[in-house]
């Protein structure tokens, strides 16, 4: 299943972002801590590399992610030139308060009213940029919603004589090269619901949870996971949650069960889960680049 989602406004948003980046000092890229690399837009890397701008990567929703995986990602990103990384929750004022100081370290020459620090907030849809903006400004200046791509236009906000923010719409990229990235983004609600089939995404998530977090499945839904696959997990969730099709003699409603599983993952009700680590991502990349196995000789 290949998931692609690139609404028309994102093309103009990319063009505008490229223009604004010429005036910015630091790119503040907001990532989903549960899938930091999959939620990092390669177009943002290209834009800031062209302008040679440093980047502060914010692994947002860290309270929903596996802390050990987050620790590995912070080490991974911080080893990159011109990059600093920190795990935060945009809903925690103490976490947000650190951000201007961390960004300042990446642009020490912009530190007074004559040369105010100019931050450009970037990221894919639904990673928490609007929540971050509102927390930084300490009032509602950006629309916040549960659906991806709520923000569709760019805005400039002068926090003080020493700090200016540029807020940009959430941007994906025209082609998601790796199918697993598309599935992770869909599971984490970063693409529109019209771009994927909920059951397929939930089956992918269930298969991953069986491998990486089986105890969390058992604790949440009260069934043993031994011998199950992704489809069987959805069936078990449907039975436990009473997801039945009306007038179909007790037939399981797997679409509803898929929605239950995805909602529980997205909200953190399942527990602290990361869908990738640097090591797992490298392994997946290796598997994707490996040539297909030769067909067996016909007898």
Q: What is the pLDDT along the chain (299 residues), one digit of tens a residue?
A: 567 655 555 567 777 888 888 889 999 999 999 999 999 999 899 989 898 999 999 999 999 999 999 999 999 999 999 999 999 999 999 999 999 999 999 999 888 788 899 999 999 988 999 889 889 988 777 655 454 444 556 788 888 889 999 988 878 777 887 889 999 999 999 988 888 999 999 999 999 999 999 999 999 999 999 999 999 999 999 999 999 998 877 899 999 999 999 999 999 999 999 999 999 999 998 887 766 656 555 44
What distance, in Å, lies between the first and last C-alpha atoms of the chain? 33
pTM: 0.88
Pick the closest to residue 56 from 129, 120, 136, 124 (CA basis): 120
Structure-token pair, residue 280: 């797992």
Instruction: Tell me the two tokens of residue 207.
Output: 């298969």
Return the bridge partners of 209, or none: none
* Distances, alpha carbon 88 to alpha carbons 64, 249, 255, in Å: 10, 48, 33
* CA–CA gap between residue 109 and residue 117 (Å, rounded): 9
* Cα–Cα distance list, 7 to 14, 79, 153, 184 (Å): 12, 34, 13, 19
Q: Which residues of 236-248 are buried (b: 16+ CB within 10 A; e: fewer)?
A: bbbeebebbeeee
* pLDDT score recorded for residue 148: 46
pLDDT of residue 62: 98
Domains of the chain: 9-167 (3.40.50.300), 197-288 (1.10.1580.10)
What's the rounded Cα separation, in Å, for the pair 55 and 80?
10
Helix axes 214-221, 198-212, angle to 10 degrees: 110
Q: Give dist(CA 161, CA 155) in Å, integer.
A: 17
C-beta atoms surrounding 28 within 10 Å:
24
**Count of helices and strands (H, E) across the chain:** 12, 6
Phi, psi of 128, rounded to the nearest 5 degrees: 110, 15
CA dihedral of 204, 208, 209, 212, whole degrees rounded to 10: 180
pLDDT of residue 7: 55
Q: Report the C-alpha gap between 282 and 296 in whole angstroms.
A: 29
Given this model, what pLDDT does residue 130 score? 86
Q: What is the pLDDT of residue 4?
A: 63
């Amino acid at each position: 299943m290949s998931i692609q989602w690139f609404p028309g406004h994102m093309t103009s948003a990319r063009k505008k972002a490229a223009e604004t980046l010429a005036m910015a000092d630091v790119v503040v890229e907001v990532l989903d801590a549960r899938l930091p690399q999959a939620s990092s837009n390669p177009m943002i890397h290209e834009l800031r590399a062209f302008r040679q701008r440093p980047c502060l990567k914010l692994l947002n929703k860290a309270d929903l992610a596996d802390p050990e995986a987050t620790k590995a990602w912070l080490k991974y990103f911080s080893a990159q030139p011109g990059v600093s990384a920190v795990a935060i929750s945009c809903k925690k004022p103490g976490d947000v308060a650190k951000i201007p100081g961390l960004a300042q370290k990446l642009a020490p020459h912009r530190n007074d009213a004559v040369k105010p620090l100019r931050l450009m907030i970037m990221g894919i849809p639904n990673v928490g940029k609007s929540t971050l903006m509102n927390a930084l400004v300490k009032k509602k200046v950006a629309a916040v919603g549960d659906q991806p791509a709520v923000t569709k236009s760019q805005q400039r906000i002068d926090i003080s004589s020493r700090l200016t923010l540029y807020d940009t719409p959430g941007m994906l990229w025209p082609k998601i090269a790796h199918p697993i990235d598309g599935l992770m983004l869909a599971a984490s609600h970063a693409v529109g619901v019209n771009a994927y089939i909920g059951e397929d995404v939930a089956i992918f998530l269930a298969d991953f949870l069986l491998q990486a977090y089986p105890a969390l499945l058992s604790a949440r839904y009260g069934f043993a996971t031994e011998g199950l696959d992704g489809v069987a997990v959805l069936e078990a969730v449907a039975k436990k949650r009473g997801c039945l099709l009306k007038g179909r003699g007790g037939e399981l409603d797997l679409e509803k069960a898929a929605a239950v599983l995805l909602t529980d993952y997205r909200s953190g009700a399942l527990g602290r889960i990361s869908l990738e680590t640097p090591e797992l991502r490298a392994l997946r990349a290796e598997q994707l680049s490996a040539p297909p196995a030769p067909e067996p000789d016909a007898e």
